[in-house]
Amino acid sequence: IQELLRVMRTIDDRIVHELNTTIPTASFVGKVDPGQTCKELYESLMDAHTSRERIIKNCISQTSAVVKTLKEEREKAPEDAALLKQLRKEQTKLKLMQSELNVEEVVNDRSWKVFS
């Protein structure tokens, strides 16, 4: 999932470049509608942010359900070492997904500040 998010954050990583290519220079002002291209960039940013947030929250939801199930199984079999190992692995994955949500918020804020 981290690789997918990295690829999906390309638009945010290149926001300055995107803005520089969106706003026409004086020689191109008649050939390009800066309002329309700016609107398209805004919509692309919104779509990217919405998609990434939805993916992260979906992963958190799914991983939370797995953790809950494993905890219930662990209560029934407290001596099962393999179950404990799997539970710890899923809990780590859940924490990673929750931290990705925080990273997403920082990335989004930075992009909107640059865009504004």
Alpha carbon separation from 65 to 42, 59, 62, 90, 97 (Å, rounded): 35, 10, 5, 10, 13
Does position 24 have pLDDT exceeding 70, yes or no? Answer: no
- In this predicted model, what pLDDT tens digit does every residue of 42-85 receive, in sequence order? 898 999 999 999 999 999 999 999 999 999 999 999 899 999 99
Does position 28 have pLDDT exceeding 70, yes or no? Answer: no
Predicted pLDDT of residue 36: 81
Does position 35 have pLDDT exceeding 90, yes or no? Answer: no
Predicted pLDDT of residue 25: 64
